[in-house]
Amino acid sequence: MPPRSPLDDRLLAATTTVRGQDTAARLAAVHEMLDLAVRPGADARAIVLALAGLDHAGTPPVLRETARAAIAVITRMVPAPRVEGGAALWGIADAAAFDPVASRRAAAGRPAVSVAIGTSAGGEPVTLDLRRESEGGGGAHLYVSGATGSGKTELLRTLAVGLAAAYPPEELNLLFIDLMGGSAYQALTALPHSVGFATQLDYPTGTRELGEAIAGEVYRRQELLRGGGYGPRLVILCDDLSALVAYDPGFVEVLVLLGRVGGSLGMHLVLADERFEPQRLRGLATYLSQRVALRTYSAAQSRELIGVPDAYELPNAPGHALLRVGEAAPRAFRAAYVSEQYPPSWERLPDRPTELDVLIGRIAPHGERARQLWPRG
């Protein structure tokens, strides 16, 4: 992984200070961020987003006005950002004109459940292949971890819509689980690939029924496999895993079952959380052969997840990550960003859709709705 630059260190210090309590120090940090934004190689978009976070009633008026003025200067002097969205990464010239049927036809024969999730420092696509090692993939299950604001949820959203763009619902389905959230994945349920969205579950009834539904799908696929096949692959995306495990510790047993036999049945886990705590997962970590580390809270957490401390030194901007597949050395990349407004612009318009919205709108009409797994009928 390339070392963090002096610009990254200065930006990290400024963004930390600007969230503090000392108004004079925060004002100085805003001026520092303005100075950084106009320098070559700076992530001006991340700086604008950080400054925009000061525009609320709880910010001292002088600080709020200074941040607004800084944003105005940056957006006037720096060209509008060319954000690496998912569409460009997947070879889609214009998200609004995307034809998923033609795209899938042109890509016939591609490996099952494989999708690019970002780009390396050299600009090459970084692809996640959830096939088992015996099928030529990197392993059936993935764990994503990183500190608050590092881009975990965005990565899962990118992965989900990228898979939906690449494969029809008769080949691949998606189940979303976010116990405490809701809005981040709601739009994705419009995809015909979605077999359900489990959120705001009550304990013990709701979590028990979800576990039973998933276990039932395992047994159903085992029966189908005896007849020669198991149907479409199922990718289960679970955000904020620790909240689910804390809420219902017994749910880990369902995840361990999936880790153990899911790959042979076309069932894939994509788990995300702020920390990687294998001692709470009761052996599940053994099956998580693919791991993405975004910026971590400590070098020790990075080492626990990917075997090296490097994720702690990642730049203080969302999407910077390291992918480790099996025992291979981690590979640095920047995750694609599908939540940018479409088309990209410095100007923030509340009624403008995101790239994710546009892609979902193009994909949704194509394909029969998948058989629903949740809520149970």
List, for residues 176-232, the tens digit of each pLDDT value. 999 877 689 999 999 999 999 999 888 889 999 999 999 999 999 999 999 989 999
Which pLDDT band holds residue 348 (cuts at 50, 70, 90)?
low
| CATH tag for 86-363 (out of 3.40.50.2000, 3.40.50.300, 3.40.50.720, 2.60.40.1930) | 3.40.50.300
Known binding-site positions for ATP: 146-153
Distances (CA, A) of 293 to 160, 284, 334: 18, 17, 11
Cβ 111 vs Cβ 104: under 8 Å: no
Three-state DSSP class for residue 178: strand
Express each pLDDT in 237-253 by its tens digit. 999 999 999 989 999 99
Poorest-confidence range of 2-6, 12-16, 26-30, 297-301?
Answer: 2-6
Q: Which pLDDT score, from 0 to 100, does residue 2 have?
A: 52
Question: Beta 125-129 vs 172-178: how paired, if at all?
Answer: unpaired
Known binding-site positions: 146-153
List residues bridging with 233 in a β-sheet.
172
For 95: left if phi > 0, alpha if psi spans -120 to 50, otherwise beta; the answer is: alpha
Which pLDDT band holds residue 344 (cuts at 50, 70, 90)?
confident
Express each pLDDT in 298-323 by its tens digit. 999 999 999 999 999 998 888 999 99
pTM, entire model: 0.83
CA 151 – CA 288 distance, rounded (Å): 20
- The residue ranges of every structural domain in the chain are 6-77, 86-363
Q: Kindly state the average pLDDT of the residues 271-283.
A: 94
Q: Which pLDDT score, from 0 to 100, does residue 78 have?
A: 82
CA 271 – CA 130 distance, rounded (Å): 13
* 40 or 244, greater pLDDT: 244
Which pLDDT band holds residue 3 (cuts at 50, 70, 90)?
low
CA 157 – CA 20 distance, rounded (Å): 31
List residues bridging with 270 in a β-sheet.
142, 237
CA 175 – CA 316 distance, rounded (Å): 31
Q: Which pLDDT score, from 0 to 100, does residue 356 have?
A: 96
Distances (CA, A) of 175 to 5, 71, 181, 205, 304: 39, 39, 15, 19, 28
Q: Which pLDDT score, from 0 to 100, does residue 358 have?
A: 97
